[in-house]
Each structure stands twice: as C-alpha cells, then as structure tokens.
Copies of this chain bind each other. A is one copy, B any other.
Amino acid sequence: MTDPIRVIVADDHPVILGGLVSMLESDPGISVVATAADGAALVAATRQHACDVVVTDLRMPGTGGADATRQIRRAAHPPRVLILTTYDSPADVMQAVEAGASGYLLKAAQPREILAAVRAVARGERAMSPAVAQRLSQLQDSEQLTAREVQVLRLMRAGGTNASIGAELGIGAATVKTHVQHIFDKLGVRDRTSAVATGIDLGLLSA
C-alpha cells in the first residue's frame, strides 16, 4: 500500500465542496489536505500544502479555475489539475486544456468515475468524459474565431448593424462585413441570427 493521494479541492458552492470532500475522503487511498472557495485561495493553498492532484471548479468568483490552473502549473513540481464543473461548453473545455488541466469531468459524473479520474491523473494519465470530448470536437470542427471576430460577434448579439459595430470598434462598415463573413464561414451558418445562437451554444459569448 502506497501513501494516499494528496488532494486539494476548490469550489465556490459550499454544498458541493462539502459533498466532494466527504466523497473523496471516503476513499482510503485519497486524502484531502486543503480546500478553497475561489481561484486565488486555491493557488495559495497549493503553495502551502504539498499535493498530488487539484480538483477544481471552473467558474468561481474572482480568479477562475482556468487562471488558477495556469498559475499552479507554473510551479516547479506542479500537481495535476482535474477540472470538475457543471458546464461542458467547448470554449470552457478548450480554455481548461490550454491552461494545462489533465482532466475534465462533469459534476453529473458518478462518484466512482470521479475517484477513478483522480487516481488516473495522479498517475499522470488524462481523464475526460466522453460527453466532454465530443463537445470539444465540436469546437475544433468549427475552427476558432479570432479575437477580433469574437468582438464583432458580441456586438452582433447586442443587435448592432454592421455600421454601428464599425463605429463602436473604430473601423469601417466594410471591414465589419468581412469579419461577419468569416464568422459565418467558420461557424457554418448563413445569417447573423444563427451565428449568435451557435456562438452562445459554443460558449464563445457567455464567458
């Protein structure tokens, strides 16, 4: 029998944090060494407590899970990070993976799936639920929008015309039209209304 896996847990919902801790503690091979209610507290906790795995929510007040992951992974011997969240919008998943997360699970997962994932990432493996992987592929199919295009898409959601969007961004209406066309191509739609709808669906606009 080896030493237990040392885990730090972060979630801004006290109820969920409590449920997670007691669930993890019920496994004799896992030991929760600290908890946090937001990203900043999580980063601080990883500096004060040696641990193998961090289990964290993504959407938290102040510093989010993605930023926290980035900071944690910069350490000398960083722990693995397992994202455990409610949402599976492709943009969220992408952000987490780019930040250096080793796994991405949904809170709908069964306890034994979560425990298995914690052990897997502790071993250095990756853990991603099939549903999440599928959502991620959606985003990869529709190649990513550039920062400028996301800006335009945001203003489209607000109901701006090409001219008013141009005024807002300090560029010409013709340029906005070009961006809009590129957005259509990348999202596979033919009009601004469904562009905004799919943008929201992919999580490009909610964050």
A86 proximal to B (CB < 8 A) = yes
A33 proximal to B (CB < 8 A) = no
The 8 A CB mask of A139-163 against B (1 = contact, 0 = none) is 0000000000000000011110000
Please determine whether A107 and B16 come into contact, CB atoms closer than 8 angstroms: yes
Number of copies: 2
**C-alpha gap A200/B199 in the complex (Å):** 12
Interface residues on A, range: 20 to 34
Surface stretch bound by B, among A64-72, A118-126, A130-138, A190-198? A190-198
Q: Name the interface residues of A19-67: CB closer than 8 Å to any CB of B.
A: 19-20, 22-23
Instruction: Give A contacts to B, CB under 8 Å.
Output: 12-20, 22-23, 86, 107-111, 114, 156-159, 189-194, 196-197, 200
Residue numbers in B under 8 Å from A197 (CB-CB) = 157-159, 196, 200
**C-alpha gap A156/B189 in the complex (Å):** 13
Residue numbers in B under 8 Å from A200 (CB-CB) = 197, 200
Residue numbers in B under 8 Å from A190 (CB-CB) = 159
Residue numbers in B under 8 Å from A20 (CB-CB) = 15, 19
Please determine whether A191 and B19 come into contact, CB atoms closer than 8 angstroms: no
CB < 8 Å: which of B16, B108, B192 contacts A193? Answer: B192
